A and B are shown apart, each in its own frame.
Chain A
């Protein structure tokens, strides 16, 4: 199978280039990541991130044939050849398929991604009703792979100011949490032309999320919560 990979080493290359590889997948190779690992044994200068190899850590997000996805969740059958692999669009490239996630995580931290509740803790855990717990489904599963934010045109234009779909989905995860007491402050922080309202409901984020989540739906819920808050 033929794979064409974006190569860039800032120490030696003036410009990025595409490098073609021919590789024969072996019997156990099921996912694109298996092929990348095989390529790595052929050319150890090839750089990419990976860890869990099962769609849990979120480190092997990349642009696969024009679409962001996790190499470890992308099945080999059905992949159009040559398979063109590029780093996540809109993110600064560190080397080959490795991008700089600093800004992405800065946005994530800005939404205070932890439960805020300064009331005296109960003897045991803070309880939730099944209905309250249900509201977190589709939110807590996010693995912060950045496939969505790196596929969002609004994030490409304003990556420094727009929180982006991943950060906003995480923000809603805590807004929706019945145990969190900082809802008003969280909403007030998001009520901003840039942080939230750069989203134009293009829905690339929902389309591309490898975990099947819907950041655009979460964003809609934040907007509605803001309207309810102010009326």
Chain B
């Protein structure tokens, strides 16, 4: 739990922001230039090992970053425990579901494509 409280969360928020920034710039650069401008191009890229790993890393960072950010907003403005705890749980479930969905999609590609 200490991973999500106090200093660790603050550091994690900054690290994930950096990861997102780099991957977003990288992604924009590859999508706007070179062969991956076409559908076939970026599909091939996304289903290559490198591409798949980066996509999973991107969504992991996105979900962690989103969790800390939304959690902070809830801690600031929503004070009634009866509202706060279910809301936090809901957000955690949604973010986790997004991440699992991404992992499963990528895994399906590899299982199917291999």
| Residues of chain A at the chain B interface (Cβ within 8 Å) | 154, 157-158, 191-194, 196-198, 200, 223, 226-227, 230
Cβ of B112: which chain A residues have Cβ within 8 Å of it?
none
Q: Are B7 and A194 in contact (CB under 8 A)?
A: no
Interface size class of B (residues with CB under 8 A): 10 to 19
Q: How far is the CB of B75 from chain A (nearest CB, A)?
A: 6
Q: How many angstroms from the CA of A230 to the CA of B3 in the assembled complex?
A: 12
Q: Are B75 and A223 in contact (CB under 8 A)?
A: no
Cβ of A196: which chain B residues have Cβ within 8 Å of it?
6
Cβ of A192: which chain B residues have Cβ within 8 Å of it?
5-6
Cβ of A226: which chain B residues have Cβ within 8 Å of it?
7
Q: How many angstroms from the CA of A200 to the CA of B77 in the assembled complex?
A: 13
Q: How far is the CB of B76 from chain A (nearest CB, A)?
A: 5
Interface residues of B in 9-51 (CB under 8 A from A): 9-11
Q: How far is the CB of A153 from chain B (nearest CB, A)?
A: 8
Cβ of B76: which chain A residues have Cβ within 8 Å of it?
154, 157-158, 198
Q: How many angstroms from the CA of A154 to the CA of B76 in the assembled complex?
A: 7
Q: How many angstroms from the CA of A191 to the CA of B2 in the assembled complex?
A: 10
Q: Are A198 and B75 in contact (CB under 8 A)?
A: yes
Residue of A nearest to B13 (CB): A197
* A157 and B10 in contact, given A192-B5, A193-B5 (Cβ under 8 angstroms): no
Q: Are B11 and A157 in contact (CB under 8 A)?
A: no
Cβ of A223: which chain B residues have Cβ within 8 Å of it?
7, 10
Given contacts A192-B5, A193-B9, A196-B6, 20 further A-B contacts (CB under 8 A): A154-B76, A157-B76, A157-B77, A158-B75, A191-B6, A193-B5, A194-B75, A197-B6, A197-B7, A197-B9, A197-B10, A198-B76, A200-B72, A223-B7, A223-B10, A226-B7, A227-B7, A227-B11, A230-B7, A230-B8
